[in-house]
């Protein structure tokens, strides 16, 4: 992998699976007999705000009891050791809304689907760090309105910071997808964008994803084995 300067990494739920955080499409994707897709939409929030708030209150509490795994720590090591100067870059674009990349020590992380540990005020539009429940309509820290929602991108809403992501894909020499099914766009399309713009593409996943055919190389197995081995390899070839 010589000549690599800019790396873009896309992570999905599979990178947090071995930390005990359920993925979306393994194991049926159900919560209290609701399909996850039925509680993660703006329409669901209008129809039954308490149901949606309870779903996210449960997930927000759950992630605070989990720890980063060897895959998160390996990516944090890469973030620390991969050169930042003279236009060499690294960006970890995550679809995950947990904070395990950050708790492992990674800094160059972009949450395209938002974050469990933030609340978004629908009255004043401010986002605030948030660890507790939202079900009991607490006041917004900025404006006081009882108008806080999870700062998570729902189906049908625009993912965050897409311009920055596309800029990084344009500069990428290497695109690595870790622990994602390739089922949800726009993230599922990043591999083709990167490949069309000349990047090498690598998939690290438990099993072939829906986009496996677009990758130059694919390695299948648990992230806690594949990711540390790959990070060691890419740092050795610097
Ligand atoms: N190691 C590596 N990969 C794993 C592991 C593991 N231990 N366990 C599961 N996987 C893989 C699965 O094989 C699957 O391909 O992780 C992927 C998880 O896929 P999804 O559950 O679809 O999660 P993700 O791809 O992140 O979903 C994308 O969909 O529901 C929306 O917004 C939500 O961000 C989410 C998006």
pLDDT at 86: 67
Q: Which of 83-97, 149-163, 165-179 has the lowest mean pLDDT?
A: 83-97
- 3 state SS of 165: helix
**Phi, psi torsion values for 71, nearest 5 degrees:** -70, -45
Helix (H, G, I), strand (E, B) or coil at 30: strand
What are the residues facing 129 on neighbouring strands?
118
- Residue 28: per-residue pLDDT: 65
More confidently predicted of 63 and 22: 63
What percent of the chain clears pLDDT 70, i.e. is strictly above it? 96
Q: What is the DSSP letter of 155?
A: T
Q: What is the pLDDT of residues 147-170, one digit of tens each?
A: 999 999 999 999 999 999 999 999
Section 63-75 average pLDDT: 98
In this structure, the residues whose C-beta lies within 6 A of any atom of ligand 1 are 12-14, 17-18, 23-26, 95, 113, 179-181, 183-184, 205-207, 209, 222-223
Residue 135 neighbours by CB distance under 10 Å: 16
| Ligand 1 centroid from CA 24, angstroms | 6
pLDDT band of residue 22 (cuts 50, 70, 90) is confident
pLDDT, mean over the chain: 94
In this structure, the residue with its CA closest to atom 16 of ligand 1 is: 14
Which residues are known to be catalytic? 113
Residue 67 or 2, more confident: 67
Query: Does the pLDDT at position 105 exceed 60?
Result: yes
Q: How would you classify residue 177: left for phi > 0, otherwise alpha for psi between -120 and 50, otherwise beta?
A: beta
> 10, 25, 185, 219: which to mutate for ligand 1, most atoms within 8 A of CB?
25
Position 1 scores a pLDDT of 54
């Amino acid at each position: 992998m010589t000549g690599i300067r800019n790396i873009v990494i896309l992570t999905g739920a599979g990178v947090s699976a071995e930390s005990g955080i359920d993925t979306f499409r393994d194991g049926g994707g159900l919560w209290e007999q609701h399909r996850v897709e039925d509680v993660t939409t703006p329409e669901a929030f209008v129809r039954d705000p308490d149901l949606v708030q309870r779903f996210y209150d449960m997930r927000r509490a759950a992630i605070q009891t989990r720890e980063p795994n060897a895959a998160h720590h390996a990516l944090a090591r890469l973030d620390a050791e991969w050169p930042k100067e003279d236009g060499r870059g690294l960006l970890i674009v995550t679809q995950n809304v947990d904070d395990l990349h950050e708790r492992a020590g990674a800094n160059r992380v972009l949450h395209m689907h938002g974050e469990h540990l933030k609340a978004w005020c629908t009255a004043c539009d401010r986002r605030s760090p948030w660890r507790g429940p939202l079900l009991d309509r607490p006041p917004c820290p900025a404006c006081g309105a009882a108008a806080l929602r999870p700062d998570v991108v729902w189906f049908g809403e625009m993912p965050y910071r897409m311009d920055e992501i596309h800029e990084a894909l344009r500069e990428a020499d290497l695109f690595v997808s870790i622990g994602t099914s390739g089922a949800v766009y726009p993230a599922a399309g990043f591999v083709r964008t990167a490949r069309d713009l000349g990047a090498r593409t690598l998939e690290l996943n438990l099993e072939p994803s829906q986009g496996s055919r677009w990758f130059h190389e694919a390695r299948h197995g648990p992230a806690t084995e594949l990711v540390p081995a790959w990070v060691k390899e890419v740092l050795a070839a610097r």
